[in-house]
Structure 1
Amino acid sequence: METLQSPTYSSYAVLVPPTLQHFEGHFTNARNQLLFYFALFPPKKRPLHGVVLFLHGSGDHCRRYVFLYERLCEAGYGVIAYDMVNHGASHCDSSKTRGHVRSFRHLVEDTNAFVTFAKQSLFPQIKALQGQCAPPLVISGTSFGALLGMHTVLSGCHEFQAAFWGGATVGMEMTTAWKLQATVIQALSLLVPKVRLVAPLDYEMLWRDPAYLEDFKADALATTEDITARTMQQSLSAMNRLMRDKRIEQPDSDFCKLRVLFLTGSEDHIADQGVTRQFFSRLANVDKEFEVFDGVFHCVFEDPERDEVVAHVLRWLRR
């Protein structure tokens, strides 16, 4: 497929083992925007147990998780991932909108469009899938990507068999102060949607290893700038809709038919752990697990204990 490259496409180098099947390029969403994708599959002669759709976090991009993709490939799973609009090597509205979320609904639509693209354009190139039924799909995401992933499942466009979430941000305790701020943010998101008014996360709390923060700051495809008013409003709205969705408590819903694994760090002070645990307790999924890793910060797939985290994921997938 002929694609155009983002001006910053080559600013993040990735070395992939030559034995793995590697695909990358761009697909076009419903708004005629080019979005970058990256996919890895096990060697051609290896059997394929399933395909994992991985969703990155806010201000992040998909090629920062190649370590995880390689481990999944070693276990017999393919991985498909893409950069959200205004993220990574995908279409940006302007040089000043990196990390901006104009519409959370558009992100869900783009994710579903990417899965459709993968089924039609990538899967036929995988020898293990030629002449076979569609592979089992697993959905995963980190932080904001987990929130997007859950809404993608709820959209019902594609069938998934399992889900694992890292540092999921599903909601926050709405104190009186936060309710007041949310009201102000709602107004600002309409008046000045792209203005960066909201202080960013405490990035030092994302990773225990300071080297990861330095790498992130130096990454031209990532951003640590203040959050736009519209991004914050769309994130809060998505959290609110998820918490209010009755299907998470209905055993016969597609959402609750999934095997689900929540992965969190004991030192995660970014995601509201109290709200996440309450959300988890409400889930009607028969097969659900909440795993806490001692000493780990918010980014469970990147902290020094990432080998332990990924090993747990692989054991869980093999069950």
Structure 2
Amino acid sequence: MAPSGSSPARAAYAPDPSKLRYAESYFTNARGKRMFHCAVFPASPEAVPLVFMGISFGTLVGLHTVLSGEHAFSAVVLARDAAFLEDYMTDPLNVTDNLTVRMGEQSSAAMEALAQDRRVEQPGSTFCALPLLIVQGSADKVTSVPLARKFFERIANRDKQFKEFAGLFHCIFNEPEKQDVLDHISQWLCEHMGGGGLEAVQSPSQLQRAKL
């Protein structure tokens, strides 16, 4: 997952839509340097697929990154604990203030652009050629579960799965049941990337330790 919050630029601000795809350089970097690869794929560190996994706002950014067609992705994964909440709110890299007006406008524009993008409905598009997994908590109070399912039904990907985890809130990777979420994603990746090195992963928990 691409890092966020460490940029020296103004927080919660995007001057134009292209800046919402700031993570693209990270994908190129990660692949070029083979970050985490040798640890997670010891059998074949050279043959590593590029998979996008995002959560919350990162999912919106990631979908536009995939639709840009600038990177050869292999798959897409569309990503109430008191201790986590305390850690989240005290993280110095976390932005807890309101978004700037420009950031709010650009975020809304990005959502509208995705809603109007017909490539997600075209079976022959680069986007629809990718296997896609959407995971969401049934008690998500930030992202609408019905709207997420509506998007899932709209996309024309032949290989797609919507996995809803009962009772989980928005930040599913930080819920008490997060290991169930990570195990499901790990298993899905192993099933879809068997020829790209993921068969070398000895246990789903390795993905968590590598922070992928």
Matched, 1:231 2:103: yes
Distance 1:220 1:316, change over 3 A: same
- Whichever structure has more helix as a proportion of its residues is 2
Secondary structure of the structure 2 residue equivalent to 1:99 = coil
Matched, 1:146 2:64: no
1:100 Cα deviation from its structure 2 partner: 2.2
1:228 Cα deviation from its structure 2 partner: 1.2
Query: What corresponds to 2:169 in structure 1?
Result: 297
Mapping of residues 1-319 of structure 1, within 5 Å: 54=1, 81-83=2-4, 88-92=5-9, 97-108=10-21, 110-120=22-32, 122-123=33-34, 135-166=48-79, 208-319=80-191
1:232 Cα deviation from its structure 2 partner: 1.0
Q: CA RMSD in A?
A: 2.1
1:126 Cα deviation from its structure 2 partner: 6.0
Q: Which amino acid aligns with 2:34?
A: F
Q: Which amino acid aligns with 1:113?
A: S
Larger Rg: 1
| TM-score computed with the length of structure 2 as normaliser | 0.81
1:104 Cα deviation from its structure 2 partner: 3.0
Distance 1:125 1:244, change over 3 A: closer
CA deviation vs aligned residue, 1:14-70 (integer Å, no higher than 9, x gap): xxxxxxxxxxxxxxxxxxxxxxxxxxxxxxxxxxxxxxxx2xxxxxxxxxxxxxxxx
Larger RCO (CA under 8 A, 6+ residues apart) = 2
Distance 1:126 1:210, change over 3 A: closer
1:111 Cα deviation from its structure 2 partner: 2.3
| TM-score computed with the length of structure 1 as normaliser | 0.55
Identical residues among aligned pairs (%): 40
Distance 1:154 1:293, change over 3 A: same
1:275 Cα deviation from its structure 2 partner: 1.7
CA distance in 2, matches of 1:209, 1:251: 40
Query: What corresponds to 2:194 in structure 1?
Result: none
Distance 1:126 1:216, change over 3 A: closer
Structure 1: state its 5+ residue gaps: 1-53, 55-80, 167-207
Structure 2: state its 5+ residue gaps: 192-212
8 Å contact from structure 2 (residues 31, 50) kept in 1? no
Distance 1:237 1:124, change over 3 A: closer
After TM superposition, where is structure 1 displaced by more than 6 Å over at least 4 residues in a row? none
